[in-house]
Structure 1
Amino acid sequence: MADPTRTVVLVRHAKADRPPVNDHERPLAARGHRDAPRAGRWLAGSGVTPDLALCSTAARCRETWKLVVAELPHRPRTVYEDRLYGASAGELIDVVNETADDVGTLLLVGHNPGLHDLADTLAGEAEGDLLARMARSGLPTSAIAVLTFTGSWEDVEPGSTRLAAYWAPHA
């Protein structure tokens, strides 16, 4: 039997406000409230259907996910994961590697610089000019990177995926 094709979707939280609260509790700014639903609509239109969403416990990530998922035709199982807050690319790879094999598409809602570093680290190749576009704009707030690979989640390592799609609200 051939190895299945799997998908990792990286969603950076929407633009956050800077009120006098601790970083973990920062809410979305007005722009974040506008951009997150746009990200959800793009994801819904892309045909990518997450089976599992892992979302940072930070307020701005939880709010982003609530606005994104409201636009999706199917709500995936969602787990709020403390380890995504402030995680490095290596720590995020560890989380991805732990994903159960019955998950075909995993979505992560998290933070930079970890998510952008993860996309850069994992993408060994890309469709068209997607790597150049992502390098130019980074992974700005509300941006989405879709990476695909063949095999098991525990096989995900640097350079093992293909950047299949990239979207940013202001790029």
Structure 2
Amino acid sequence: MKTLTLLRHAKSGWDDPVARDFDRPLNAKGRRAAEVMGRHMRDADFAFDHIVASPAIRVGETLDAIEAGYGRKLAPEWDRRVYLASAATLLDVVHGFDDGAARVLLVGHNPGLEDLVLMLVPEGTGALRGAVEAKYPTATLAEMTFPVDHWADVADGGGTLTRFVRPRDLDPTLGPDER
């Protein structure tokens, strides 16, 4: 059995004057959401054998804030392929995971993460998948399990979505901004 947890980076600051998208930092709401998610991960006893993350600034800052709430040091492998990757590229990354790792956290960006969940979890499998179809917000976790021994055997439609946790599920003030 393999467990893959996907984490979308927290809300970034579009008003920050950076030259490259890659360098965009989190905003205050994003830092708060990531810390809340880290506390949830601690309270729900999440544990990972391996972590792979996009090297974008907003992903690193998300993991720093997650650590503050989680209370554990995270030591990701930074993989440039994850930056703004498609679902197909992310699946290639997953296929390359070491089989000695049973529980992996993959931290990146949308739409790739959302598309990966929709690729790996069959349609019509419940409310959690429906929630992913509706929207995969920033700082949200999706956990899937696969009845395989090798990461290379993770395939389209072969997963079970076991958790989909949005920051607003943990703190309603972290929901969408009112317009």
TM-score greater than 0.5 by the shorter chain: yes
The residue identity in structure 2 corresponding to 1:124 is: P
Deviation string, structure 1 residues 77-130 (Cα, Å, up to 9, x no partner): 421111100100000000000001110111011000001101111112787521
Give the gaps of 5 or more residues in structure 1.
Answer: none
Aligned partner (choices 139, 160, 163) of residue 161 of structure 2: 163
RMSD: 1.7
CA distance in structure 2 between the aligned counterparts of 1:43 and 1:126, rounded to whole angstroms:
27
CA distance in structure 2 between the aligned counterparts of 1:149 and 1:50, rounded to whole angstroms:
15
Shift >3 Å, 4+ stretches:
73-77, 125-128
> Does the CA contact (< 8 Å) of 1:125 and 1:162 recur in 2?
no
Give the gaps of 5 or more residues in structure 2.
Answer: 170-179
Task: Please give the TM-score of this superposition, normalised by the length of structure 2.
Answer: 0.86
Larger strand fraction of residues: 1
Question: Which residue of the partner structure matches residue 177 of structure 2?
Answer: none
Question: Which residue of the partner structure matches residue 5 of structure 2?
Answer: 9
Task: Please give the TM-score of this superposition, normalised by the length of structure 1.
Answer: 0.90
> Does the CA contact (< 8 Å) of 2:4 and 2:105 recur in 1?
yes
Deviation string, structure 1 residues 44-77 (Cα, Å, up to 9, x no partner): 2223211111111100001001111333354454
CA distance in structure 1 between the aligned counterparts of 2:70 and 2:100, rounded to whole angstroms:
21
Question: Which residue of the partner structure matches residue 29 of structure 1?
Answer: 27
The residue identity in structure 1 corresponding to 2:90 is: L
CA distance in structure 1 between the aligned counterparts of 2:55 and 2:113, rounded to whole angstroms:
15
User: Identity percentage over the alignment?
Assistant: 37
